Amino acid sequence: MGFTLKNRFALVTGASSGIGHAIAVELAKRGCNLFLVARREELLRDLSVSLAESYGVDVKWLPLDLTSAGAAVELAAQLEPLPVSIVVNNAGFAVAGSFESSEVDALSRMIALNINFLTVFTRLMLPRLKAMTDGARILNVGSVAGHQGVPYMAAYAASKAYVNHFTEGLNWELRGTPVIATCLEPGQTASDFFDVAGVSHSFMAQFGVLRPQVVARKGVQVMVKGKTRYVVGFMNKLLIFSLRITPRPLVRIVITRLFRDWA
């Protein structure tokens, strides 16, 4: 029998909006119990109550700033009593604009969340996941941006390259264990992501935008199937293929022109 979601317990970070919200809904629809984490307490509480009432699943929630020191240790401790067999590392944000003009504090918080928290928390949860004899899953949300250096979003793209490659390497390392790690790699997705980055009116924020429900549905599907990496959307797949065959000087010119209005 394959990996099933019903009656399991899943942890979803960044669950109050966007892709994280949609993943929480998708998992609840499939009978999965949830532990939801995000900063915005009111949104988190409303979502938790709604999912519990709509789908009859057990939903716990915790408002927590995952950029804070010790957040990974605190969250892992909160999960200790629960049989969590699915970890969805979705929380993340971007700092856009020229690197030189970026606020140092914002860059530090982005790296703390996109890289440090994800890495440490995954390490803390891994022994518990490996103890799940009926299988376990890790779903890390990377990005198409992680396939290429991106001017005016250089640090963000680099952080997502880390997520993409970390997940792939970890999954290879986990061969022969009950745990499979999957990296979901969406492109532009309708959410408050671009508002946080401060570029919601840019061309790139409005071109080829995917609905978070579509991204979540594909993400859950490929996680269950145990795929290592999955790029969401035909145009995104085409973009990544074109990056492999296009001369680098031309890639630099095109991407710089596309993103320069973010500076």
Sheet of 9-13, strands arranged across: 59-63, 33-38, 9-13, 84-89, 136-141, 179-185, 229-231
Cα separation, 197 vs 262, whole angstroms: 10
Residue type, 62: L
- Give the CATH number, domain containing residue 224: 3.40.50.720
Please tell me which residue in 55, 152, 156, 230 is annotated as part of the active site: 156
Answer whether residue 169 is part of any domain: yes
pTM: 0.88
Answer whether residue 161 is part of any domain: yes
Answer whether residue 183 is part of any domain: yes
Answer whether residue 4 is part of any domain: no
- In the numeric block, which tokens belong to residue 231? 């790029």
Answer whether residue 231 is part of any domain: yes
The verdict on whether 230 is a catalytic residue reads no
Quick one: pLDDT band at residue 249, thresholds 50, 70, 90? low
- Which pLDDT value is given to residue 256? 66
Tens of pLDDT along 18-71?
A: 999 999 999 999 999 999 999 999 999 999 999 999 999 999 999 999 999 999
Answer whether residue 1 is part of any domain: no
Tens of pLDDT along 163-196?
A: 999 999 999 999 999 999 999 999 877 655 445 4
User: Which range of residues forms the domain containing residue 96?
Assistant: 9-262
- In the numeric block, which tokens belong to residue 61? 């929630």
Q: Is the model's pLDDT at 207 over the cut of 60?
A: no
Instruction: Count up the domains in the chain and report the number.
Output: 1
